């Protein structure tokens, strides 16, 4: 087991997304997952019916407990929920030098809101300049950059804008476009790269964003360069979708136990 990843995110009782998916992905890829839970959601494959935020103090105490004892090689941040939690997380991570991978979760796969309306602006101002990698899907990238994203070139423009705002790198995911070939576009200060893969026709898409970001964080924590970490993570998520168990009546979970 190599690479200690501190995961800061919400809990999904159905096990397909959030902290549960993060732990499974990191473990499957040989890393060690520690967590700080930001919210308790009530959800399943059909959607989110309630969100119960964890207090800022408890979030910060969880982070401090992990950092002071286990240590951290990378941080993955998913669902934050509200600005109070965001401020606490930023303060707790202020002196941590481990790279931060931010999945700017604003809504669930079902479309249900998982963040307060003003959180996107706070993320843009306060989080983006501090992260190693931000991994928005197209609706999230549109919200963060105020760009309409309809093409791969638009994804590239959004990635450039996020890097221009201070992120070391941005991976703008293309799954929300309708093309048969999905392209995830990676932009950093010294590279721009397209990761293309065939669209998999499936309803098993619950937690794909959480899983991808955690898989990348595992690779970074294990000493992989960013391109290699992204390449492995994309392959892992694709295989997890292909071998999904078919559970639930809505957007079903992945099979996080696959090997790549």
Q: For residues 152 and 149, what is the distance between their CA atoms, to the nearest angstrom?
A: 8
| pLDDT at res. 112 | 55
| pLDDT at res. 177 | 85
| pLDDT at res. 113 | 55
Q: Report strand pairing: 100-102 vs 133-134.
A: parallel
| pLDDT at res. 176 | 83
Tokens of 51: 């969100």
Residue 205 is among the residues annotated as catalytic for this protein = yes
Residue 135 is among the residues annotated as catalytic for this protein = no
Residue 76 is among the residues annotated as catalytic for this protein = no
Dihedral sign from CA coordinates of 94, 57, 114, 256: positive
Length of the chain: 260
3-state secondary structure of 8: strand
Q: Where are the beta strands (DSSP E) in the chain?
A: 4-11, 32-44, 47-53, 74-77, 100-102, 133-134, 169-172, 181-188, 192-198
Q: For residues 42 and 30, what is the distance between their CA atoms, to the nearest angstrom?
A: 29
Predicted confidence (pLDDT) per residue in 53-80, tens digit: 999 999 999 999 999 999 999 999 999 9
**Domains of the chain: which residue ranges?**
4-242
Superfamily designation of domain 4-242? Ribokinase (3.40.1190.20)
Q: For residues 71 and 3, what is the distance between their CA atoms, to the nearest angstrom?
A: 10
3-state secondary structure of 50: strand
Question: Torsion over CA of 93, 94, 100 and 106, rounded to 10 degrees?
Answer: 70
- Residue with the two structure tokens 């790198």: 169
| pLDDT at res. 191 | 86
| pLDDT at res. 10 | 97
Residue 15 is among the residues annotated as catalytic for this protein = no
Return per-residue pLDDT of the chain as tens, 260 residues: 899 999 999 999 999 999 999 999 999 999 999 999 999 999 999 999 999 999 999 999 999 999 999 999 999 999 998 999 999 999 999 999 999 999 998 765 555 556 566 888 899 999 999 999 999 999 999 999 999 999 999 999 999 999 999 999 999 999 888 788 889 999 998 789 999 988 899 999 999 999 999 999 999 999 999 999 999 999 999 999 999 999 999 999 999 999 98
Catalytic residue among 3, 209, 219, 252: 209
Catalytic residue among 38, 41, 205, 231: 205
Q: For residues 86 and 119, what is the distance between their CA atoms, to the nearest angstrom?
A: 8
| pLDDT at res. 253 | 97
pTM reported for the whole predicted model = 0.95
| pLDDT at res. 119 | 86
3-state secondary structure of 194: strand
């Amino acid at each position: 087991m190599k690479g200690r990843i501190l995961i800061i995110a919400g809990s999904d009782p159905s096990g397909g997304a959030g902290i549960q998916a993060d732990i499974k992905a990191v473990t499957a890829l040989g890393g060690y997952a520690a967590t700080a839970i930001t919210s308790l959601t009530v959800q399943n494959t059909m959607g989110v019916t309630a969100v119960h935020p964890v207090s800022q103090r408890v979030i910060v105490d969880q982070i401090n407990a992990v950092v002071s004892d286990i240590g951290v090689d990378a941080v993955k941040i998913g669902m934050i929920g509200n600005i109070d939690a965001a401020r606490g997380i930023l303060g707790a991570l202020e002196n941590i030098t481990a790279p931060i991978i931010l999945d700017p979760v604003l809504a669930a796969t079902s479309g249900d809101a998982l963040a307060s309306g003003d959180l996107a602006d706070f993320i843009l101002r306060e989080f983006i300049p501090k992260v190693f990698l931000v991994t928005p899907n197209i609706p999230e990238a549109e919200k963060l950059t105020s760009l309409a994203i309809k093409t791969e070139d638009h994804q590239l423009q959004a990635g450039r804008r996020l890097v221009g705002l201070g992120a070391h790198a941005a991976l703008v995911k293309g799954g929300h476009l309708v093309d048969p070939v999905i392209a995830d576009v990676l932009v950093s200060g010294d590279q721009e790269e397209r990761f293309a893969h065939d669209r998999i026709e499936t309803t098993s898409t619950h937690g794909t964003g959480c899983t991808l970001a955690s898989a990348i964080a595992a690779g970074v924590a294990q000493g992989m360069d960013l391109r290699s970490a992204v390449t492995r993570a994309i392959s892992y998520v694709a295989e997890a979708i292909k071998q999904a168990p078919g559970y639930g009546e809505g957007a079903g979970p992945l099979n996080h136990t696959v090997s790549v």
